[in-house]
Amino acid sequence: MSRTVFHNARLIDPASGLDAIGGLVVEDGKIADAGPHLLAEINRDDAAVIDCQGLVLAPGLIDMRVSTGEPGSEHRETLKSASRAAVAGGVTTIIVMPNTDPVIDEPSLVGFIRRRAEATARVRVLPMAALTRHMAGEVMTEIGLLKEAGAVAFSDGDRTISNTRVLRRALAYASGFGVLVVGHAEDPDLTDGTAVNEGEYAMRLGLPSAPAMAEVMIVERDIRLVELTGARYHFGQISTAASLEAIAKAKARGLPITCGVSAHHLALNELDIGTYFTFMKMKPPLRAEADRAAMVEGVASGIIDVIVSSHDPQAADTKRQPFAQAAFGAVGLETLLPVALSVYHEDRADLLHVMKALTWAPAKILGLESGTLAKGAPADLVLFDPDAPFVVDPEKLHSRARNTPFKGRHFQGQAIKTYVGGECVFECGASA
């Protein structure tokens, strides 16, 4: 029986509301016990005891929105390289998007992702499957079989299903299996061919733009479809104050709706595009400052359930283009924790609350056993220093891609050690 003991840690367990100095015992990859009561019982001289020196020990992060290039464009990112980035950022579970080549719309492809992850990745990789075949928004996938094969949720990635009837039927069918549908809210007709958020800055730059309203239009439509079908529905990431308001109302009415926000949309606004900096080009686009502030408020109030990285690695050739032609997307796995912690450092929410959006909330939405320090839960843990300075250096990222929008920015929060199933998979400063 393998046993590891963490001592003198600031235990943060959003599931139970625990925030106290204490100890944690791991046995056979699972959490055997945790709490302040363990402080006295531990023999500090034992070799298997790790003195955490008061740093935070929390459930490992669960990132609900990660794109890799595997299969199909491994030059961007593989499951292996993404997992390297993940553990460096304290992330122990990644939910991977189905928007690969081929699209994950077949049970055998779900199996492929799981086998590749098993063989190469250091973190838990949970595949999402497409909601419609080829993510074309026309014909629903084999939701039941895909679920059996291991798909944890269904999504057409960053495509909005424009045909309301198709979506209605997919949601109705999905609700029969109790599966989670993850939607993307951008009116496809309004946003087609555009690159940025409509407004003064877009006009100054002369870039094709779509109104922020294009998001809430779909949010409101999808809320009505949830009302109609009873499907469990999660907005993968929202970015506008209007969407937040619509979702708050829907939640108040008791609809089974949750939502996420990307770390990028918590920390950046449209002005960060500067002089056509293509690393700032993402879907949905960076919004006005009032919308960014609303996203922080939404996390603080809990209307926004989860914070995601929206990790989307892009190779240099697709980013080194004129802005309108450049690819969308930014990497984010390694910056997720420090960027999310800025909500705590800016006194907008306490540490427990921010950590909940990164651990327990996504675990609950996805029905996972992890995301908690409860007895019997998998020992997926992150030991981190919430105050340590974190300066984003693209050269030091573990991801295969370098397209971080945070180059040179200063944050606080650094993962020191990351454990998956009780096994240490990352140690800060150690060679990867």
Partner 1 sequence: MSEAPQPILLSSHLLGIEGLSVGEITALLDLADEYVALGRAKQKKSPLLRGRTVINLFFEPSTRTQSSFELAGKRLGADVMNMSVRTSSVTKGETLIDTATTLNAMRPDILIVRHQNSGATSMLARKVDCCVVNAGDGAHEHPTQALLDALTIRRRGRNFEGLTVAICGDVLHSRVARSNIHLLAKMGARVRLIGPKTLMPAAVARFGVETFTDMREGLKGVDIVMMLRLQLERMSGAFVPSTREYFRYWGLDREKLSHANPGALVMHPGPMNRGVEIDSAVADDLEVSLIHEQVEMGVAIRMAVLDALSRGLPAGERTI
Residues in touch with partner 1 (CB under 8 A) = 193, 198-200, 202-209, 211, 275-276, 317, 320-326
**Can you tell me the distance from the alpha carbon of 366 to that of 305, in angstroms, rounded to the nearest whole number?**
12
Nearer to partner 1 (CB atom), residue 127 or residue 329:
329
Closest contact distance (angstroms) between CB of 273 and partner 1 is 9
**Can you tell me the distance from the alpha carbon of 372 to that of 351, in angstroms, rounded to the nearest whole number?**
15
Closest contact distance (angstroms) between CB of 144 and partner 1 is 40
Q: Are 142 and 104 in contact (CB under 8 A)?
A: no
Cβ-in-10-Å burial (0-12, 13-18, 19+) of 35 comes to middle
Closest contact distance (angstroms) between CB of 410 and partner 1 is 24
Closest contact distance (angstroms) between CB of 222 and partner 1 is 25
Q: Which amino acid is at 422?
A: G
Nearer to partner 1 (CB atom), residue 177 or residue 277:
277
Nearer to partner 1 (CB atom), residue 144 or residue 199:
199
Angle between helices 351-358 and 289-301 (to 10 degrees): 100
Q: Which of 47, 48, 36, 40 is CA-nearest to residue 9?
A: 36
Closest contact distance (angstroms) between CB of 320 and partner 1 is 6
The single-letter DSSP state of residue 271 is: G
Closest contact distance (angstroms) between CB of 268 and partner 1 is 18
Nearer to partner 1 (CB atom), residue 164 or residue 321:
321
Nearer to partner 1 (CB atom), residue 279 or residue 360:
279
Block residue for tokens 């943060």: 12
Nearer to partner 1 (CB atom), residue 141 or residue 194:
194
**Can you tell me the distance from the alpha carbon of 45 to that of 105, in angstroms, rounded to the nearest whole number?**
53
Closest contact distance (angstroms) between CB of 194 and partner 1 is 10
Block residue for tokens 């497409």: 130
DSSP for 84-108, written as a single string: HHHHHTTEEEEEEPS-SSS-S-SHH
Nearer to partner 1 (CB atom), residue 150 or residue 208:
208
Q: Which two tokens stand for residue 166?
A: 């198709």
Closest contact distance (angstroms) between CB of 405 and partner 1 is 16
DSSP for 140-184, written as a single string: B--HHHHHHHT--EEE-TT-----HHHHHHHHHHHHHHT-EEEE-
In the chain, what is the straight-line distance between the N-terminal and C-terminal CA atoms, in Å? Answer: 27
Nearer to partner 1 (CB atom), residue 197 or residue 237:
197
